[in-house]
Amino acid sequence: MKKMFTTLAMLALALVAASQAFALTGEEILKAVDAKLQPGDLEMYRKLINIEPNGNKKEYTYWFLRQDKDKIITLFLAPASDNGRATLRLGENMWLFIPNVGKPIRITSLQSVVGGVFNNADIMRLDYHVEYDVADLAEDEGQHLLTLKAKTGQVAYDKLRMWVEKKNNMPVKVECYSATGILIKTLYFKDVKDMGDGVVGPTVIETDSPLYKGYKSIMVSAKLKKRTFPEEVFTLNYLPRVKELR
């Protein structure tokens, strides 16, 4: 009997060691989350809806291009008043091109080209693992809870708390904080399905903010295609011609 208990104890220890060996690190979980949201070089279409406390809505449709880890372009298609507007992000640098206005103008991550709760950093978001380090990995109600710290002071949010499903590394919720610990906004990831080209991930991101009570913004992604563009596309000189690539 004693020998049997010893064998069972050794087996249990072996199973624990095996589970630990296969457990993902915080960095690996974060990269898996990024792969669910923006898997490599791609194009896709997005609709952004701003909802005011009185129920009024304003909708925008734009074409989203991404290359490498730090090059992003958006081309606005609707409403008609915004058709042809485009933004370019290269690392932490951002520009807005408005037809018939002249050369692109500088914009910042905390501004918003569409108003509402989403800012420019949200609309042209880089991979989380590019901008943040994992400061802590814990568990909360059966989900991974990552605490992320910005790598530099140029990032829109100083700290993030991210809840991730264990079974598939799908993001569920992200709380965004300032350097002083103020909650700026919360992102909710919903409606997981095929976004296009076999990529399964959240197709809807909703956000609200205690700083903008009663306001809500929704971002819907669809028609994702993995696509690589010439390097010249992601330049200021090319912004007026981006529409030719559609």
Q: How confident is the model at residue 102 (pLDDT cuts 50, 70, 90)?
A: confident
Q: What is the pLDDT of residue 1?
A: 53
Residue the block writes with tokens 């909703």? 206
Q: What is the pLDDT of residue 13?
A: 40
pLDDT in tens, 113-155: 999 999 999 999 999 999 999 999 999 999 999 999 999 999 9
Dihedral, 130, 184, 65, 152 alpha carbons, nearest 10: -30
Phi, psi of 200 (to 5 degrees): -100, 125
Q: What is the pLDDT of residue 17?
A: 35
User: Please, are residues 163 and 140 in contact by the beta-carbon 8 Å criterion?
Assistant: yes
pLDDT in tens, 83-94: 999 999 999 999
Long-range contacts of 80-84 (CB under 8 A, 24+ apart): 84/243
pLDDT in tens, 13-58: 433 333 443 589 999 999 999 999 999 999 999 999 999 999 999 9
Q: What is the pLDDT of residue 210?
A: 97
What does the chain come to in residues? 246
Q: What burial letters (b/e) apply to 199-213, b meaning 16+ CB within 10 Å?
A: bebbbebbbbbeebe
pLDDT in tens, 192-235: 999 999 999 999 999 999 999 999 999 999 999 999 999 999 99
Structural domain boundaries in the chain: 25-245
Q: What is the pLDDT of residue 40?
A: 93
Q: DSSP readout, 91-137?
A: TTEEEEE-TTT-S-EEE-TTS-SS-SS--HHHHTPPPHHHHEEEEEE
Cis peptide bond upstream of 202, omega within 30: no
Could you give the CA distance from residue 93 to residue 106 in angstroms, rounded to a whole number? 8
Fold adopted by 25-245 = outer membrane lipoprotein receptor (LolB), chain A (2.50.20)
